[in-house]
Structure 1
Amino acid sequence: MEMMMQTDVIEWPSRLIRARAFFRQHRLFVFGAAILLVVVSCAVLATWIAPYEPTKIIMSERLLAPGAEHLMGTDRFGRDIFARVLHGGRISLLVGLCVVLLSLVIGVPIGLVAGYFGGRTDLLLMRIADVFLAFPPLLLPIAIIAALGPGIWSAVIALGVSWFPGTARIMRGAVLRVREELYIGAARTIGLGHPSILVRHVLPNSLTPVIVAASADFGYAILAGASLSFIGLGARAPAVEWGLMAADSRVDFLDHWWTALFPGLAIFVTVLALNLVGDGLRDILDPKQGRPE
């Protein structure tokens, strides 16, 4: 028992030293992760943090400036903007997460198969991806939403389908490097089949660049989802979403700046935090690709 206590006493200073060293080397990552944690916590706990219902209309309190009663003011329908920003984070974060997951579900298997087998398989799959990449960034999602109909899930599907070619190409590039490693040749030599090699050896060792790219894509997916909501193709009233809030403020923001500032600031801060986390993950998971300190 005494030996265990002594070991714990010795380990704590070393852990503290390692934590300080990590913070010094990856300050921007820690800063971005802290901001992201605050944003996610506020969205999850919005029901308990927000002092008002996000959709409650009080016409007698319309377009009030930020103050003690309404921290971020009210919009043209008297709805509390602070409550709407907190609740809007739920949909915006959910849209970004679902878009990234959908692009991974589609893009990772395509890039894995194309990079591993090469030849005609690679050529066919990458030319299919090139067809999707040929469209401007928002034109293909708009076309897909036109076919499916406006809505949050239509926006998620449209963005995920248009996003997967980038994921597939990143995965393919990683697999092209991994498949030439000695342990892959050894696995073939001992008689492992292609499915086993792909799942047990190639996939785990090729995911690092995909994870880094996905963390950055998360922020851009939130921004793209907000853009679609802004033009009326994403979230629709009475849903509460940052892009939709910015769209609702178009009539009033010149005279009542707070109606557009706070939803836009929420998008800006969240995307910035995710970009910092993505850069930090790149430096941590793949130091050779990171920026020099």
Structure 2
Amino acid sequence: MSPIISVSNLTKSYASGFQALKGVDLDVRRGEIFALLGPNGAGKTTLISIICGIVNRTSGDITVDGHDILKDYRKARSLIGLVPQELTTDAFESVWATVSFTRGLFGKAPDPAYLEKVLRTLSLWDKRDEKIMALSGGMKRRLLIAKALSHEPKILFLDEPTAGVDVELRRDMWQMVRGLKDSGVTIILTTHYIEEAEEMADRVGVISEGHIILVEDKAELMRKLGRKEMRLQLRNPLSEIPRSLDNYDLAISDDGNTLIYSYDTQAERTGITRLLKDLDAAEIRFGDLDTRQSSLEEIFVSLVRNGK
């Protein structure tokens, strides 16, 4: 199946000489949740803004569902909904008026039933007649999503959608995003909350200093780059690790009661089996053990630090 968004050799330079994007290639699959991660200034918002037609590219090609964003910009933009970082709304309009107006901007015929469904999904229906200035910050964030969905886009960009909102609202929005995916909407998410990507994304892209340094299925990324740690509670404290165990990535806790084994997930079975045999041979006994896997945040930090 052809990608719903295709970006080829995209660059963006400013008059100051700063190059925000440097030859970006990216395909977004139809119907997926794609998380774009990167530190501040990496180029996330610039990339999204160019695809959405807000910022002009310097060079490169972009198609949205087969439509060139310049040659067929009306069709391309009609397929996209954007939820920006900033809360940009008309403070004196009502909730209902602003979503209705946004739908009309895209040439869509009035559809009160559809807009009601959107507002109910976002828990805004009871606020439909209120002025936007009277809404809480979380409700304004929901309203931005309602505006982005008002014209029934096939693609939804969420640029830091839960920045500044509480944990409960964040969970509600995650549930809403999953529902949109189930209805066939493609979601592109940028976030500083790595757990957001870990919770929802099908694939993860990492951008750093204007380069896409990695695009990978989330599960495969965790499998390939994730590290695991096994902690063994020793029956007798150790002051040092025997030389016979030098081939393992081992450490001892400060009190000497815990032996910590770090290993690559790809070598999980063979490494643990060998270690347990060698521990037995070294007459090191333990009473309990537990394991933990590195988080997506730890993988992300490592990738950015090392430039992949």
Assess same fold via TM > 0.5. no
User: If each structure's helix is expressed as a fraction of its own residues, which one has the higher value?
Assistant: 1
User: If each structure's strand is expressed as a fraction of its own residues, which one has the higher value?
Assistant: 2
- For normalisation by structure 2, the TM-score amounts to 0.23
- For normalisation by structure 1, the TM-score amounts to 0.24
